[in-house]
A and B are shown apart, each in its own frame.
Chain A
């Protein structure tokens, strides 16, 4: 593209022919105020706030709007002359004549030195009729739901007949870009607003799946994206300097051939809402340990501040242990990690706030290296440690001075007394439980789950990372509730086991497999369909079935099915089993 030289406020710049003055000024870092400008649309010059002074060859000059005045070679632009300021001031005053003083106009007026607009208005109407919303809806979104209606003094922007428009996809682009805030988003007949906020949050169309996601790259959420509703927009593709946006990208299934599998599917956090006595989901200040962790995250919604629902710092916090663990109605097992993370919570609360902390525990299980010492440190920090499971959380208010609090009821078993503790916030230390789909997933891998849903290791002592299926190993909390050091250790062990398989380069087969005695095989093919591993094939030349010993897993189903008794399961032969029966019953 041809380049042209323009001078803006004395600074020379080379820009593409056909671009506009506003863009050239922007690349020089010169600020020109705008109201109706949107970089990814054709300029419209409706607000006329961006006016600048253009000087041509021969000494002529005139006021032009920067957003839609094309550059040409030798053009000189001045953005700060008294003539420009005067023109902007007049234009702004005229806008203010028909529009209530919204913040953006007020700020501009201050910048341009208007103390009192010459033409007054007493309206509440906040539209400056710049048409940005109409143009965005047409050009960017492609929904064509908005238009100008009426004429003259009654001119306005609206949907057809001022009714709820079915063309509107509730994307919020108009409201987001409206300079004065005239357009607001409302839920229409329970239709879902696409963009509640335009940020990297779950409501946005482009978002990180979660913090610390790997790979840590944003993705488009199709149901929120304007492009997938109308085919328009594609602003993100225009913004992205590296052309990374691919609208055609789809989730793909990839088949990877591997020699070993390490299962590390982790755990689910117990949902305490069925335990009505703790009021989780009913009282906003009763939160689960996971929610407290999110709150504590410096990159989290509260910026790491420990606050109640109303934004105030709590004065007292109760941490209830064993919610869902060591409980015969839910999980009988001990979740192992809760005692220690609850102690960590109280340490964090003490560090960040001046709140009183009450720990309500059944048994303090500080089992690991340095854990008991940490427990003692917590005691020194002045945490109130009460032996007795929290029985109930109720709102206070039945006593005057306790309004707005929560009351935790418990039995302090060390002093043998029933206690009621007024607190502002309750943290439920919820159990670790097996993933909901663990059983289904285990079936896919042919590994089994125990009564609690955790995957079963091949042997609790001698093969703690192996499973009954060769080449599949377990690591972490998918095998049972465990803390980070244990998970890391088990992960290392599982990786080493997998490496061992790969380093060997060959697989040791079990000696138990089936063998067909060709002399007895009648070629009935009954066994061929029996085999779940398709290890038995029919030899057309010899008219007998043949077992591929590498494929055979030695289940013996074919042996039991063979009408001729021609198949022998090695190490589990008929003779061996008959001998066992005979031996047992003789």
Chain B
């Protein structure tokens, strides 16, 4: 069976979620791999959400917000952009490819762009392969298990 990436998408309520809705009502076909979490603003996306998604087994995380200047909350997307930049560095430090996290601006009218973003990101993650995070040693239970195995 081929690898189907599991991607968590955080979409802002006003632009990207509406854009995704538009892609749906316009009957556009896009990869079913992105599972969306609606947030009011991309500024709501806590870096912890991204890390938690990876912990829970996501292969990629997509964050979508409004274009600059279009933010419903004036500049939540600016804050999001900075946080994502930091989150990428954290991911790198943790040994996760920063490419697994992507930030995109999709406006409410850009259904086609949402389709394109989802498709290309899915393909990118597919190329990167599965995360296999659960096999890694620093999952607490596994660390404990490994420690137990070493008899410590």
Contact residues of A with B, CB < 8 Å?
A: 443, 446, 448-451, 456, 468-469, 512, 530, 532-533, 553-557, 559-561, 569, 572, 574, 577-578, 580-582, 584-586
Complex CA gap A525/B69 in Å reads 26
Contact residues of B with A, CB < 8 Å?
A: 6, 8, 14-15, 18, 35, 37, 39-41, 43-49, 52-53, 56-58, 66, 69-70, 72-76, 79, 83, 107-110
Task: Name the 10 nearest CB pairs between A and B, nearest first.
Answer: A556-B44, A557-B43, A555-B73, A450-B109, A532-B74, A555-B41, A560-B46, A585-B56, A584-B35, A585-B57
Evaluate contact between B44 and A560: CB separation under 8 angstroms. yes
Evaluate contact between B40 and A581: CB separation under 8 angstroms. no
Which B residues lie within 8 Å of A456 (CB)? 108-109
Complex CA gap A572/B14 in Å reads 15
Tell which of A449, A533, A560 touches B83, judged by Cβ atoms closer than 8 Å. Answer: A560
Which A residues lie within 8 Å of B47 (CB)? 560
A-B contact pairs, 24 of them (CB 8 A): A443-B69, A446-B72, A448-B14, A449-B109, A450-B108, A468-B18, A468-B72, A512-B40, A553-B72, A556-B39, A556-B41, A556-B43, A557-B44, A557-B79, A560-B45, A561-B79, A572-B40, A574-B48, A581-B52, A584-B6, A584-B35, A584-B37, A585-B35, A586-B57
Evaluate contact between A569 and B69: CB separation under 8 angstroms. no
Evaluate contact between B44 and A448: CB separation under 8 angstroms. no
Known: A555-B72, A586-B57. 16 other contacts (CB 8 A): A446-B72, A512-B40, A555-B40, A555-B73, A557-B44, A557-B73, A557-B79, A559-B44, A559-B46, A560-B47, A577-B37, A577-B39, A577-B49, A581-B37, A584-B8, A584-B35
**Cβ distance B125 to chain A, nearest Cβ, rounded Å:** 14
Evaluate contact between B41 and A582: CB separation under 8 angstroms. no
Complex CA gap A585/B131 in Å reads 13
Complex CA gap A585/B7 in Å reads 9
Interchain pairs with CB closer than 8 A, number: 97
Residue of B nearest to A554 (CB): B40
**Cβ distance A481 to chain B, nearest Cβ, rounded Å:** 16
Tell which of B35, B46, B66, B109 touches A574, judged by Cβ atoms closer than 8 Å. Answer: B46
Complex CA gap A236/B74 in Å reads 49
Evaluate contact between A581 and B53: CB separation under 8 angstroms. yes
Tell which of A449, A533, A555, A578 touches B44, judged by Cβ atoms closer than 8 Å. Answer: A555
Which B residues lie within 8 Å of A560 (CB)? 43-47, 79, 83
Which A residues lie within 8 Å of B39 (CB)? 556, 572, 577
Complex CA gap A450/B113 in Å reads 13
**Cβ distance A247 to chain B, nearest Cβ, rounded Å:** 41
Evaluate contact between A555 and B57: CB separation under 8 angstroms. no
Residue of A nearest to B83 (CB): A560
Complex CA gap A22/B133 in Å reads 105
Which B residues lie within 8 Å of A532 (CB)? 73-76
**Cβ distance A350 to chain B, nearest Cβ, rounded Å:** 42
Evaluate contact between A585 and B8: CB separation under 8 angstroms. yes
**Cβ distance A164 to chain B, nearest Cβ, rounded Å:** 50
Which B residues lie within 8 Å of A555 (CB)? 40-41, 43-44, 72-73, 76
Complex CA gap A532/B44 in Å reads 13
Which B residues lie within 8 Å of A450 (CB)? 108-109
Evaluate contact between B108 and A448: CB separation under 8 angstroms. yes
Evaluate contact between B41 and A557: CB separation under 8 angstroms. yes
Complex CA gap A456/B53 in Å reads 33
Evaluate contact between A578 and B109: CB separation under 8 angstroms. no
Complex CA gap A468/B53 in Å reads 29
